[in-house]
Structure 1
Amino acid sequence: MRSTDTHVEEKKTQMYSQHAALSDTDAPYSDEEIAAIQANMPLLSRYAEADCSFDGWALLFRDHYVENSVGFVLGAESAGIPPEWIFAMAKGDQTRNRERIHATFLARGYRSTVFDNAWIDADPGAQPGQDAEALRAAAEVDRFIAAAREQGRKVLAIDDGGLIARGYGKADPERAVDAALELTVSGLKRIAAAGPLGVPVWNMARSRVKTQLGYLEIADSCMRRLRELIPTVKFIGRPVLLLGYGTLGSRLAALLRAQGSRVCVVDTDTASLITAAETGYCAHRTAADALACTTPFAVLGATGEIALTEQQLRQLPDGAYLAPFATKDFSVLRTPELHAVSTDLPGVGRRYDLPEGPTLCLLGDGRSLNLFDADAIPTQGYDAYRAGTLIAAKTLCRTFDQQSPGVHTDTADTAIAKAGLFEAYFDLYLDSRPQEAATRPAAQEPTGHACILGYGVAGQLHAQMLTESGMALDLVDPKHSARSAVGLAVHASLDTLSPSKQVDLWSVCTPTGEHLPILRAILARDPNARILLEKPACHGHEIPELEHLLDTNPHARVVVNDQYIHSEALGRLGVLIRELEPDQPIEHVSVIFTKDRRADVETGRFIDRAYGVLGYEWLHMLAVVRRVLPPPLLGNYFAADPALSDLYATYDERLFVSSLTERTTLHHEHTRVYLELASSITGPLIPLHTAPATGERWQRDLRESDDRHRHVTVHAGRTRFKLHLEPVTAPGGWQLDRNQHRLSADQDGTVVFDQIIEDSPMRTSIRHAIAALRGKTPPPRPDFGPLHRIAALAATLKENETTATDDSHGAETTPAPHPVGSAA
């Protein structure tokens, strides 16, 4: 479809091949990120308490690699399955963080691989490479089962029918699993086609918790992803053809109608068709009948079967969108007999030009669209379904001796109802009574007291998020007389806070120079304190003292808030690099962060005479470098003497150094990366960037000119990647709103990717810190590597400033950038 090119807003798609293995090189989720996932699935955590249910069991878990799956597998481990007896398998979809999830599973001691759905549905021998990958994955499963048998363990499979369809549900003591939970309707169809079962299979696909709760969240994720991929396309008033009116399709129909679309439904099941017609939809037995009387601008597939024939494709209007929510729906497009010419649409899908027919746009990669380059359902949205699955799994294993072979349709519902999951779900998420009257789970009751020290911009944000987490607050701020309107208990100093006051979490948002004395005072009061510390943790010369303080208080928990470590935009940059240049190393990284602090300096605010420009944006820049550079090169950078870099500094008598550029080349084995870091606090120093294509999120005069700019550029292969972190202003006066970032890529001067990413890294990092401090697992000790680097850079600059002054023979210092270090 020719007009589709104007809708390209996301990264260039590299179709997730069934032959591709997951990479082990991506960073696993940090302890803080894992704690945040667990904190967002409180129902699952409630039912993940260890008991005897999983004694002597091993787990084969096969599902999409998304964050709610991480939460589930962690829950299974907490419930009693040892890490070495957990084998997780991705279903092959192009989910956003699949590599990181794979790395997380390996880091926790699980086994992890891909067992692609395409291998299960394909005809044997149709694709030799695919068959080889399927056999390799099956061999890994066989070895896992054999190892479990040797240790006297039974094996539970939680899957969508793929393993059972491959023979693991037969009465075969050497190769079969002992019991299974079935998660999807398509899996049920595969199980039925595979023949008689020799093991018990509990049906989660038709359970109340999935049909009544789970599918609403699935449908919501499907519609969100559809609108995200084609955000400029009009839906209101236009006809949409929906193929399939089952559990998912009926919910999609309601969502389409709610946004004003005219919905036409096709279903081969007469009872479902009657329901659709009596609900007010235009209903047809076949797609051919529907296309004879409607011209849809979009066709949605929710059948799980081949939904359109070649002839019906040719009946579609030129430019129609095809949105698959099950893999088989539009698989006819991939048949060679169609003779269609296909073209990648970066970040959207593929365009198919049919000979003597229309041009069509297949959204996504042909699989479930809500999983295309996305994490699909929010962790909270699948909390109840994952909790129900864990309840069913524990009950099945605990009562295994009472189970008979075959598919059981009511047993999961009975176990979940007995556990009180629906009551807990309502109390937690839906009870509209006043806070004090509602019966709520312990995890959602006000669960402690927090004390915020410093009520500036950071302190106010911490207060908001701590309040949202259910904590009562105290505030310590010497300017408390001006803070009476905040409605908090306010104290002029820490000394005036009652020693008997129980504080479960401390939030330190004071100037950096006050951090160390405050930490000493808090730890003297409570050696087990949980402390959220705004960055930087301390000045460079104070690092040894801070490390000694932590050594002498080993039971304390300290998390330093570092927002760009949690930036989704930086994560998307890494994914885009791997997808557009999968075989090419990074060659060049440039990070430019500027902030105009001249007005503040004139009033005596935000002056860092110890580090100058290094005390403002440089820690943020190092966080970016930590997200972009491969670990070996990153280690080499932090270990290197800053004097070996080319340093260009502007010295300032009030600010020490007001601008700095560092350039260096990093080496590791055969890899070489040129790194450039630049920052200024006396001017915007706006780097060039391309003007945006028109779109509803770009506006002119959204705000006054930005006083800060944050740009990241990466070169790999023939592609230049650019990430413009908020606030974003582009040539022509175009601006994006707050917490919107722009990621783009060009090849040989042609833009192949341009995407707007919605993300608040500050809120995310605070949320992760709170979860880590209050979680069961202690967070890792703060990493002082970036602070050491800043201190070493400052020392080098001071030394070179002295040399430059001595060489000047008393000449007046000029504001021009002065080369120091190896470039001098």
Structure 2
Amino acid sequence: MERETNTLTVRRPERPVAPAADGPVSFAATTVEVTGAPEDGPHLLHRAARRLCEAAGPGAVPVHAGGELTARLAPGLQASMFVSTEMRGDGAGTSLLRLNLRLSGRGAAPSTASLDHWAEIWHRQAFSAPEVERVAGELPLMSAAVGRLRHGKPLAGCAVLVTGHFLTDLVHLVGCLAELGAPLDAMTVLRKDYAYQWRHRVHGHLVDQGVRVVDAADPRAVEEHAERARGLGLRCLALDDGGYVAPALLDRARQGSPWPAAAGDWAGVVEQTMSGIYKLRGREAELPFPVFSVAQSRLKGRIESYWIAEKAVSTALELLPVLKMEGQPALVIGYGNVGSQIAALLTQRRMRVAVHDADILHLIDAHESGYVTDRDLAVLLERHEPLLVFGVTGRTSMSTREFEALRRPAYLASVSSRDIEFDLPALDALAARNPAARSVTGPSSRTHTLPGGLDVTVLAGGRPVNFHETDSISNLHSDLVYAGMLTGACAVATRQAPPGLDPSWADAVLEESGLLQDYYERYGPAATARPAPWTAADRR
């Protein structure tokens, strides 16, 4: 797939193009690129046009006009739609199909929000069969896991709830869940609102498959999924990413509300992030079902951490202005699996690295690895004066006291889910105390001027830098953890595990599943003997 060009691009002239002879003014144009057979073009165009017209309402009907499809979307707003084809000589029988949308009309130009709305709907184009096959080829461990687990359709009795980053690997994950028996029409995907390149196409593909897509921030999402599952006579099973499911259920129970479904209607939860595990600390005894912790598994901790760290460091440095980083002080807050890798990578880039961790064993490990440390984070900030700070705790690591301890302009980079790592309201409040306060928001950062004139810049708006407008890690890297989650889902659905959180259970299931052996055979010393990373035989 053409990964660099398939972005949501609304092209607007600085001023509307002057009409010729009282003709319409062109407001915006955008294109979706799809890999497919040339003869598929007209069919894909008609489907895209119907999607646009359905969003506009019953009065919008696509009409053929001069080789294009046209439709009236709103008063004064006309859509012109056509397909163009770039022929390829690669012998695969596919072409690059461009589905083009041009918005025009008479009178004042629509608002930016309105144009973005129509462009987003246009970009909700389901993946073609060649694209789905190509994504599957980048995720061989998931496909092979399905081959080992699919017999007996272990997820056939489950209404699966997935918390997802809208990357292309999510398309294959949902397909694998369906192959394991999970009914698509009973599935819900909670959408995390990161600005990924392919997010609109992933959304459109899931809806096209019959999957219900809901915003992850919707407070009713989990409850509505459970109610729907109960009506279908299915048990709920969640593949979570960041603690959106089990903690929400426990909170409702503590508030005296009934469970969204009876506790026995939940098979369990598979959690892949430490931020989700932290939300369950001290509440394990309240869980009425098992939580399968991929987050704490050796599989995730020892293999995936480097990939995340490398992406976080490279993206953070790209977001900085042009600075000489060699010899500059950096601070890593959180010396766990990912934080320790970030500290090592910054050291390799010849920065002077300090480390803080609330866990004394981690702090001892960091000290004996040669890093500057202190048990008091504010003291460490004053003493080390970092230019660049990475927060990797999965919780709030810096608030008012820590911001006040900064002694030089600093850049803050989060590697935690959502925007919890840095206390952004506290930073806003500090900036408001400065009579000459300014808050400058750019395309990839926000700078606050604190009392005393100190500038503190939060990269990526406080969201994880490794997710900023890019894929977090490549499909070949996310493949391992998603394969582990598929394995965990089948274990939760079919094994009589006791309720609660037992990381050793997850490790035992993963290590006996054959997944790690498969990984070693594909990418270990004998990997060069394999003709390709994936073949159709992997899914049998």
For 1:219, the equivalent position in structure 2 comes to 309
Task: Indicate conservation of the 8 Å contact 2:162/2:238, yes or no.
Answer: yes
2:430 is matched with which residue? 338
* Equivalent AA in structure 2 for residue 91 of structure 1: K
Matched, 1:365 2:440: no
Deviations 1:706-739 (A, max 9, x none): xxxxxxxxxxxxxxxxxxxxxxxxxxxxxxxxxx
**Are 1:74 and 2:175 an aligned pair?**
yes
The answer to whether 1:414 aligns with 2:495 is: no
Deviations 1:73-108 (A, max 9, x none): 222122221211221112333333322221121111
CA distance in 2, matches of 1:318, 1:333: 21
Q: Is this contact kept in 2: 1:237–1:260, CA < 8 A?
A: yes
Matches within 5 A, 1:705-744: none
- Give matches, 1:637-676, under 5 Å: none
Structure 1: which amino acid aligns with 2:423?
S
Match of 1:46 in 2: 144
- Contact persistence 1:314–1:357 (CA under 8 A): no
Q: Deviations along 1:33-77, whole A, 9 cap, x unmatched?
A: 222211100111111233221121110001322222333222212
1:164 aligned onto 2:253: no
Q: Answer yes or no: is 1:151 the counterpart of 2:232.
A: yes
* Structure 1: distance between partners of 2:394 and 2:126: 33
Q: Does 1:245 align with 2:339?
A: no
> Do structure 1's residue 328 and structure 2's residue 420 form an aligned pair?
yes
Identity %: 28
Cα distance, 1:306 vs. partner? 2.5
Q: How many residue pairs align between the two structures?
A: 405
Secondary structure of the equivalent of 1:65?
Answer: coil
Is the 1:178–1:199 contact (alpha carbons within 8 Å) kept by the matching residues of 2? yes
1:304 aligns with 394
CA change 1:196–1:434 in 2 (3 A) is: closer
User: Contact 1:146/1:175 (CA < 8 Å) preserved in 2?
Assistant: no
For 1:501-523, what per-residue CA distance to the aligned partner results, in whole angstroms no more than 9, with x for missing partners? xxxxxxxxxxxxxxxxxxxxxxx
Counterpart code for 2:206: F
Shift of 1:215: 1.6
Evaluate the alpha carbon distance shift between residue 334 and residue 100 of structure 1 in structure 2; reply closer, same or farther with a 3 A threshold: farther
Quote the Cα distance in structure 1 between the aligned partners of 2:196 and 2:527: 38
Q: Whole-Å Cα distance in 2 between the matches of residues 334 and 32 of structure 1?
A: 49
Verify: 1:233 aligned to 2:323, yes or no. yes
3-state DSSP of counterpart to 2:281: helix
Equivalent residue letter for 2:447: R
Deviation at 1:345, TM superposition (A): 4.3
Q: Could you say which residue in structure 1 is the equivalent of 2:157?
A: 56
Distance, in Å, in 1 between the alignment partners of 2:396 and 2:487 is 34
- Scaled by the length of structure 1, the TM-score of the pair is 0.46
Contact 2:196 2:469 in 1 (8 A): yes
Distance 1:82 1:390, change over 3 A: same
RMSD after superposition: 2.9
1:35 is matched by which residue type in structure 2? E
Shift of 1:323: 0.9
Contact 1:297-1:317 at 8 Å conserved across structures: no
Amino acid of the structure 2 residue aligned with 1:143: E
1:265 to 350, 355, 361: 355
By how many angstroms is 1:309 displaced? 3.1
Q: Is the 8 A contact 2:440 2:448 kept in 1?
A: no
Query: Is residue 288 from structure 1 mapped to residue 378 from structure 2 by the alignment?
Result: yes
Give the SS at the match of 1:161: coil
The 2-side partners of 1:257 and 1:306 are apart by 24
Determine the structure 2 residue equivalent to 1:179.
268
1:539-583 deviation digits (Å, cap 9, x = unpaired): xxxxxxxxxxxxxxxxxxxxxxxxxxxxxxxxxxxxxxxxxxxxx
Gap change, CA 1:93 and 1:268, over 3 Å in 2? same
Instruction: Report if aligned partners of 1:213, 1:385 keep a CA contact under 8 Å in 2.
Output: no
| Gaps in structure 1 of 5+ consecutive residues | 1-10, 12-19, 117-133, 448-770, 777-824
Q: Which residue number in structure 1 is paired with residue 521 of structure 2?
A: 427
Q: CA deviation at 1:235?
A: 2.1
CA distance in 2, matches of 1:383, 1:338: 42
Please, which moves more after superposition, 186-195 or 75-84? 186-195
Q: Map 1:312-323 onto structure 2 (within 5 A).
A: 312-323=402-413
Shift of 1:31: 2.7
Give the distance between the partners of 1:198 and 1:263, measured in 2 at CA: 43
Which whole-Å CA distance do the structure 2 matches of 1:367 and 1:193 have between them? Answer: 26
Residues 56 and 434 from structure 1, CA distance in 2 versus in 1: closer, same or farther, beyond 3 angstroms? closer
In the alignment, does 2:452 pair up with 1:351?
no
Distance 1:64 1:334, change over 3 A: farther
Deviation at 1:427, TM superposition (A): 1.3
Distance 1:328 1:285 in 2: 22
In structure 1, distance between residues paired with 2:462 and 2:369: 30
Distance in 1 (alpha carbons) for counterparts of 2:467 and 2:137: 23
Contact kept, 8 Å, 2:223 with 2:260, in 1: the verdict is no
2:226 aligned partner, one-letter code? I
State the distance in 2 between where 1:101 and 1:252 align: 30
- Unpaired segments of 5 or more residues in structure 2? 1-9, 11-116
Q: Which residue in the other structure is 2:473 paired with? A: 377
Q: Normalising by structure 2, what TM-score?
A: 0.69
Match of 1:590 in 2: none
Deviation, 1:434, is: 5.6
2:463 match: secondary structure: coil
Q: Write the letter of the residue equivalent to 2:421.
A: D
- CA change 1:318–1:280 in 2 (3 A) is closer
Report the secondary structure of 1:158's partner residue: strand
